[in-house]
Amino acid sequence: MRIIVSEIVAQEDIAALVAHLHELGSLPQFCTLHLDERLDPTPLLKLSRETGMMLMGGTSCSGALTADGVCAGVLFAIDDGEGSYGTALRPFDDDPSAAAEAATRAAIDNAGRTGERPDLVWIYGTPGEEERVLSGIERVVGPDTPIAGGSAADNSVAGGWSVFAEGRCAGRAVAIGVLYPSGEVSLAYHNGYAPTERSGIVTRVEGRRVAEIDARPAAEVYSAWTGGAVCTDTEGGQTRSILGESTFWPLGRETHRIAGVPYFILAHPAAVDGEGGLHLFADVAAGERLTQMTGSAGALIERAGRVARIACEAGRMQPAGIAGALIVYCGGCMLGVHDRLDDLTNGVCEALPAVPFAGVFTFGEQGPILNSGNRHGNLMVSCILFSK
């Protein structure tokens, strides 16, 4: 297996990539493409339609990441003639879960592996339906198949995101890749925050809007938990974004414990409203306990490299035997440490010396949790390693 990571700096680089791929003796078996929303993927999508090359991907907040640093976009290509790969895209319409199920079945058929469970499902969907998408995929591959990826992002949370596969692009859909590589895959999915002693029970919730915690207005409770670090006041009863302020103050949901130490998956508070509601980027349920988490810029910078090391340890891989890596890093975290992204890049390069990697900045992250299946979280990071 060989992995090629191509950095995209400007629109003309996409046309140059198409020309380069045409010149190759054979096309890569699988590609995932991630771009700043201002770039147009059309030339590569046209190549995919004309040649059958398995290409998928979507927009990434303010660009992407490679070993050379932040860039406008990246193409992660797997050249693996002994493996099998398939991609598919389905619009959400009225049933995102059914769309995800159909996309997964189509991707498996496109890989020529009907009836066989993939080693990895790579997912890129538009925000808002992540839990339903995961349930649809798991109906096909089961909860023990690792699903990893993220939610497409734009540059200003204005809905300018999109995903693509099968040579087409969509603004409300899911793109699925199924991977049956000839080498091994190792995956780590973690948060970089610490729990505080403050927690409470969700007593009223409507979708992703938490109305009450411990029978009190959720925004009021959250403000108290953060010691006023996140202001939840609103003017004229209008809903107000708190995405920037809350980046270092997410809410945690305990998923399991290892040697008595709790593991949390995160929910990012997105906004507050005039009725005291707290809007999240993930689903929570009535009766669920939320724990106030806290983080720092230093911890967020270090965790990409740390998760890469954990993935190496989990798969018993050494950098010399790794063909390449995919890193999913929360777009909100990226914006919170934007002036230190060189340090983040250096941390990954130290953990994976001489390993080509592509990093995407997402508005939601999906990955496997021990004994809990695959879960959607916010402010998370994952690293997928492919052995040579």
Domain end residue (candidates: 293, 325, 353): 293
Residues 53, 181 within the same domain: yes
Alpha-carbon dihedral sign for residues 22, 23, 25, 31: negative
Question: For residues 208 and 89, what is the distance between their CA atoms, to the nearest angstrom?
Answer: 25
Taking only the tens place, the pLDDT of each residue in 162-201 is: 999 999 999 999 999 999 999 999 999 999 899 999 999 9
Q: Residue 13: which domain range?
A: 2-190+299-387
* pLDDT on residue 109: 98
Residues 270, 356 within the same domain: no
Residues 40, 173 within the same domain: yes
Residues 13, 132 within the same domain: yes
Whether the CB-CB separation of 186 and 312 falls below 8 Å is answered with: yes
Q: Shortest CA distance to 351 belongs to which of 67, 85, 99? A: 67
Residues 245, 305 within the same domain: no
Residues 55, 152 within the same domain: yes
Residues 175, 199 within the same domain: no
pLDDT at 370 over 90: no
Residues 89, 182 within the same domain: yes
Residues 314, 175 within the same domain: yes
- CB within 8 A of 237, min separation 6: which ones? 273, 274, 275
Residues 106, 236 within the same domain: no
pLDDT at 308 over 80: yes
pLDDT at 260 over 90: no
β partners of residue 57: 33, 164
Residues 232, 88 within the same domain: no
Indicate the number of domains in the chain: 2
Domain end residue (candidates: 293, 320, 345): 293
Domain end residue (candidates: 275, 293, 311): 293
The whole-model pTM stands at 0.95
Residues 330, 209 within the same domain: no
